[in-house]
């Protein structure tokens, strides 16, 4: 019996070129209407007890082919608990090898976070009387863009996730951040006392549904639109800016994953030549406190120096800092693993992402009060 392979579910992405008894040739689909691809998420059925060899034959044409070097694919027997499996990248092909212990096995670029889990997250938050849940706008496909707000203070903090839909680590980060905010330790209590915190955990909700790496349904890179978002092709960004305009922004952290760099790092608005002294100081304080709060964070490695040239004015951290005068930051987490320190079993994981979400709150508080 040959294997059955598909990605015909929420967030799925794969195309089958050929399939046999224990192997398959596969390709990753392009983002809908966009040029990028790298996110894959599919299930293999009928392989129990076999040593599977799955070859993604268009890997070298993906958005960040350097990210495949040393990469290990995520695998799950239940679509809930994920680990890494034997993967090699050679001659332009990403080859995943895995012993299937169950009839159905799931594979993904990173531990997925689908719309059903997002809905459960919003539902859980909404049952807490301290959290206001609000649809701040609609996506290209007509889905709600949802913000969660809590805290009694007047300093406005915005935490954004998954402008790039395939960067699911941002969703796991959001779970950790909100759990801690609701948990009542001294840092989160003080943050809620002095600030109003707004989380937009899934900005690119259409991309998440469609299995896109980066673009929204219109094929737009949302993190290049913040200086002047087109309300028709980038309504997700226009919605967040409109909501921000009602509150102002003292601090904005935009959470991402980086396909190639094996570190957690920050890119801040301090790199903007127009940054004020207070913005530069805020970025410095955030980084200094996060270094103490999180063993996964480091400052030695970041974007290559060439990064952020012509696209920089449209990046959230730059544009929001310019427009509202607050501190703007991008947080990047790795897809494969962080070297501070590596995790040979899980790689960079939902648990690591969630812990970083918790740890970042120390740094948010310090940046607001420092």
332 tagged catalytic = yes
Cβ proximity to Zn ion: between 256 and 322 the closer is 256
Nearest approach in angstroms of CB 236 to Zn ion is: 14
Cβ proximity to Zn ion: between 126 and 311 the closer is 311
Binding site for Zn ion (CB under 5 A): 164, 167, 256
Q: How far apart are CA 359 and CA 349, in angstroms?
A: 15
Q: Are 23 and 54 in contact (CB under 8 A)?
A: yes
Cβ proximity to Zn ion: between 221 and 362 the closer is 221
Nearest approach in angstroms of CB 38 to Zn ion is: 11
* CA nearest to 255, candidates 367, 360, 141, 112: 360
Q: Are 13 and 28 in contact (CB under 8 A)?
A: yes
The residue annotated as part of the active site, out of 167, 236, 259, 332, is 332
Burial track 72-106 (b if 16+ CB lie within 10 A, e otherwise): bbbbbeebeebbbbebebeeebbbbebebeeebbb
Nearest approach in angstroms of CB 99 to Zn ion is: 33
Cβ proximity to Zn ion: between 106 and 335 the closer is 335
Concatenate the DSSP letters of all residues of 22-38 into one string. SEEEEEPPPPTTSS---
According to DSSP, the β-strands at 132-138 and 144-150 are: antiparallel
Tokens of 47: 């392989």
Nearest approach in angstroms of CB 14 to Zn ion is: 21
Active site residues: 332
């Amino acid at each position: 019996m040959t294997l059955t392979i598909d990605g015909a579910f929420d967030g799925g992405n794969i195309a089958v070129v050929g399939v046999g008894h224990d192997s398959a040739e596969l390709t990753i689909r392009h983002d809908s209407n966009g040029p990028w691809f790298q996110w894959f998420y599919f299930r293999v059925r009928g392989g129990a007890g076999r040593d599977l060899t799955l070859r993604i034959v268009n890997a070298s044409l993906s958005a960040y082919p350097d990210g495949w070097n040393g990469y290990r694919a995520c695998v799950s027997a239940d679509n809930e608990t994920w680990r890494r499996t034997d993967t090699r990248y050679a001659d332009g092909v990403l080859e995943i090898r895995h012993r299937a212990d169950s009839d159905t096995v799931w594979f993904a670029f990173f531990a997925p976070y689908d719309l059903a889990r997002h809905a459960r997250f919003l539902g859980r938050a909404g049952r807490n009387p301290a959290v206001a849940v609000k649809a701040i706008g609609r996506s290209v496909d007509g889905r709600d863009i949802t913000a969660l707000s809590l805290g009694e203070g007047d300093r406005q903090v915005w935490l954004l996730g998954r402008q790039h839909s395939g960067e699911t680590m941002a969703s796991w980060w959001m779970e950790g951040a909100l759990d801690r905010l609701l948990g009542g330790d001294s840092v989160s209590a003080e943050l809620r006392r002095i600030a109003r915190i707004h989380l937009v955990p899934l900005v690119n909700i259409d991309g998440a549904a469609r299995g896109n790496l980066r673009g929204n349904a219109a094929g737009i890179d949302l993190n290049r639109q913040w200086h002047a978002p087109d309300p028709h092709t980038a309504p997700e960004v226009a919605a967040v800016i409109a909501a921000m305009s009602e509150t102002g922004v003292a601090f904005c952290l935009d959470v991402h994953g980086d396909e190639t760099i094996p570190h957690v790092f920050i890119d801040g608005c301090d790199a903007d030549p127009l940054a004020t002294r207070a913005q530069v100081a805020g970025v410095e304080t955030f980084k200094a406190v996060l270094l103490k709060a999180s063993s996964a964070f480091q400052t030695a490695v970041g974007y290559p120096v060439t990064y952020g040239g012509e696209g920089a004015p449209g990046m959230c951290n730059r544009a929001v800092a310019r427009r509202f005068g607050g501190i703007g930051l991008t947080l990047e987490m790795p897809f494969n693993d962080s070297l501070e320190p590596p995790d040979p079993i899980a790689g960079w994981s939902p648990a690591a992402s969630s812990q970083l979400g918790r740890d970042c709150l120390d740094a948010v508080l310090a940046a607001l009060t420092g």
